Homo-oligomer: A and B are copies of this chain.
Amino acid sequence: MLPIIETIPLRQMASGDILSLQVYKFTGVNTGKKVYIQSNLHGAEIAGNAVIYQLVEFLLTVDATDLVGEIWLVPVCNPMGTNERAHNFASGRYCVYEAKDWNRIFWDYEKEADDLTAFAKSQFPLNIEVVRQNYLTIIKKEFAKLLEKINCSSCVPYTQKFRYILQSLSLDADYLIDLHSSSNQGLNYLYYFYNREESAKLFWLDFGILLNEYDGDAFDEAFIKPWLALEKCLQQLGRDIQFEIEAWTLELGTGMQIIPDAVMEGVRGVKNYLISKGVLRNTGLLLEEQKNRKMFFKNRSDVRKYYAPAGGMIQSRIKLGSLVKTGDRIYQIICFNKSGNLPKVIDIFAEVDGLVYDTSINQSVNEGEFVIGII
């Protein structure tokens, strides 16, 4: 099966050059779910590009009759982030001009949905699929206003044009997968949303973090929050409903690196998810026995991040993937001074038990810089 390949102009630079997106659209013979997969929203988080490359290669071998619905893939989905450098480092986590995290800029309908209860009441007796269509229609109508603003004489800051284009591709998806990694050094895991634990297991990753707290305006959040809000609203009215709408952020290892194991887990997870969801059929892939597979779940609010209480050099840091106990020494700082004294070493201890899931890529710290994340 060959994809339709669409190239979408994204930004005209001062030099007249144009940066674009390219979408690979695989469409099955039978209609079904729309799956949207992107990678590299943060410049340093590149492993997902290799995952998408392998998924494209794989889908080329799949027969169109075995794809139910459609799969859209957008690798290198943020050229401004991907191409940015500071010396040899991939510094593209933030929009340099606006100082915004590229993954905290998205349009979240929930924030505008003042009359959600009224809407929920009006939809109360309707079939879930009709509710879904009605709600999506409203979301799309509000979303269209963003384009009006873009087309004004006063226009909008780039991040607002960028979000418009990415979200216009994914707004009507059923399943949305955003492939990230740590911008530092991280494990393979995923972020998931309320009530989606069972689906989370389909990715066969070791653990998942529930976004029980939001950062605000992240790509996955902005997509699913309006649906979760409507579910909650209907539930409060007495109707238990769950839309077959899911959003996932997969974290695949370490920044600036394409770790083979992380790529393998990403590809395996996405394939298994798509097969389990019935999007792909007869792939010849044997689904591994999952019943005995253990997945470990935690809440975002359980994360404890450690910042350096002094400037200096980090050493003897506990390894990524370790389990720590409260009171364990988790790292040291060699602390230099300019006041005529000998350098000294400071010990830092764990405040809570947990798993080391993220460590700073840089072992030199100014006071207040990130060192280690434990969950």
Pick the most buried of A75, A258, A308, A367: most chain B CB atoms within 10 A of its CB. Answer: A367
Report A296-338 CB contacts with B as 1/0, cut-off 8 Å: 0000000011111111111100000000000000000011111
Q: Could you tell me if B12 and A310 are in contact, using CB atoms closer than 8 angstroms?
A: yes
Cα separation A13 to B21 with both chains bound (whole Å):
13
Contact A99 B97, CB 8 Å, known A155-B309, A338-B18, A361-B256: no
**A313 CB to nearest chain B CB (Å):** 5
Q: Are A94 and B83 in contact, with the CB atoms below 8 A?
A: no
A94 to B100, CA, bound (A): 10
Question: Are the C-beta atoms of B14 and A306 separated by less than 8 Å?
Answer: no
Interchain CB contact under 8 A, B11 and A368: yes
- A370→B88 contact, CB < 8 A: yes
Are B97 and A364 in contact (CB-based, < 8 A)? no
Contact B53 A16 (CB under 8 A): no
A316 → chain B, closest Cβ, in Å? 8
Of the residues B87, B339, B366, contact of A91 by C-beta under 8 Å = B87
A272, CB-defined interface residue at 8 Å: no
- Asked whether, in the complex, the Cβ of A88 is within 8 Å of the Cβ of B362, the reply is yes
Question: Are A90 and B362 touching (Cβ within 8 A)?
Answer: yes
Cα–Cα, bound, A343→B340 (Å): 26
Minimum CB–CB distance from A1 to chain B (whole Å) comes to: 12
Q: Which residues of B contact A90 (CB under 8 A)?
A: 362, 364
Inter-chain contact B83/A86, CB cutoff 8 Å: no
The answer to whether A75 and B336 have CB atoms under 8 Å apart is yes
Q: Which residues of B contact A100 (CB under 8 A)?
A: 99
- A292, CB-defined interface residue at 8 Å: no
Question: Is A129 on the interface with B (CB-CB < 8 A)?
Answer: no
Number of copies: 4
Contacts of A313 in B (CB 8 A): 14, 46, 49-50, 53, 258
A122 at the interface (CB under 8 A from B): no
Residues of B within 8 A of A75 (CB): 336, 343
Does A89 interact with chain B (Cβ within 8 Å)? yes
Taking a contact as CB atoms under 8 Å apart, the answer to whether A367 and B12 are in contact is: yes
Neighbour of A96 across the interface among B87, B183, B263, B351, CB < 8 A: B87
- CA of A11 to CA of B85, assembled, Å: 15
Closest to A313 in B: B49
Say which residue of B263, B340, B366 sits within 8 Å of A5 (CB atoms).
B340
Nearest CB on B from A108, distance (A) = 16
Find out whether the CB atom of B366 lies under 8 angstroms from the CB atom of A14: yes
- A91 near B89 with CB under 8 A, answer yes
Tell me if A's interface is mostly helix, strand, loop or mixed. loop
Let me know if A256 and B363 touch, CB within 8 A.
yes
Query: Within 8 Å of chain B (Cβ to Cβ): is A153?
Result: yes
Contact of A88 among B159, B184, B349, B351 (CB under 8 A): B184
Near B by CB (< 8 A), chain A positions 237-278 give 256-258, 260, 263
Question: Is A307 a contact of B155 with CB atoms below 8 Å?
Answer: yes
CB of A196 within 8 Å of the partner chain: no
A363 touches B258 (CB 8 A): yes
For the complex, is A158 an interface residue (Cβ under 8 Å from B)? Answer: yes
The reply to whether A369 and B312 contact each other, CB–CB distance below 8 Å, is no
Q: Which residues of B contact A369 (CB under 8 A)?
A: 85, 88, 97, 157-158
Could you list 22 examples of A-B contacts with CB < 8 Å?
A: A5-B340, A12-B311, A14-B366, A15-B311, A16-B338, A16-B343, A17-B311, A22-B337, A46-B313, A50-B334, A56-B342, A56-B343, A85-B369, A88-B184, A88-B361, A89-B361, A154-B304, A155-B308, A155-B309, A157-B370, A258-B363, A263-B315
